[in-house]
Amino acid sequence: MTLTAGVVAVQGDVSEHAEAVRRAGAAHGREVTVERIRTAGTVPDCDLLLLPGGESTTISRLLHDEGIAEEITAHVEAEKPVLATCAGLIVLSTDAGDDRVEELGLVDASVERNAFGRQADSFEAPLDVSGLDDPFPAVFIRAPVVGEVGDGVEVLASWDGRPVAIRDGPVVGTSFHPELTDDSRLHGLAFFRDG
Q: Which active-site residues does the annotation give?
A: 86, 177, 179
Q: Name which position in 54, 173, 178, 195 contacts ligand GLN (CB under 6 A).
A: 54
For the chain, how big is the Rg over CA atoms in Å? 15
50 binds ligand GLN (CB under 6 A): no
Does position 113 interact with ligand GLN (CB under 6 A)? The reply is: yes
To ligand GLN, the closest distance from the beta carbon of 148 in angstroms equals 18
Q: Does 121 bind ligand GLN (CB under 6 A)?
A: no
Give the length of the chain.
195
Instruction: State the nearest-atom distance from the C-beta of 55 to ligand GLN, in Å.
Output: 5
Q: Which stretch binds ligand GLN (CB under 6 A): 84-92, 123-131, 145-153, 179-187?
A: 84-92
| Antiparallel, parallel or unpaired: β 82-85 and 171-174 | parallel
Q: Name which of residues 125 to 144 contact ligand GLN (CB under 6 A).
A: 141-142
- What lies within 8 Å, CB to CB, of 99 at 6+ separation is none
Decide: is 173 part of the binding site for ligand GLN (CB under 6 A). Answer: no
Q: Which is nearer to ligand GLN, 30 or 162 (CB)?
A: 162
Cα 136 versus chain centre, distance? 15
> Per rule CB under 6 A, is residue 86 in the interface with ligand GLN?
yes
Binding site for ligand GLN (CB under 6 A): 53-56, 86-87, 90, 113-114, 141-142
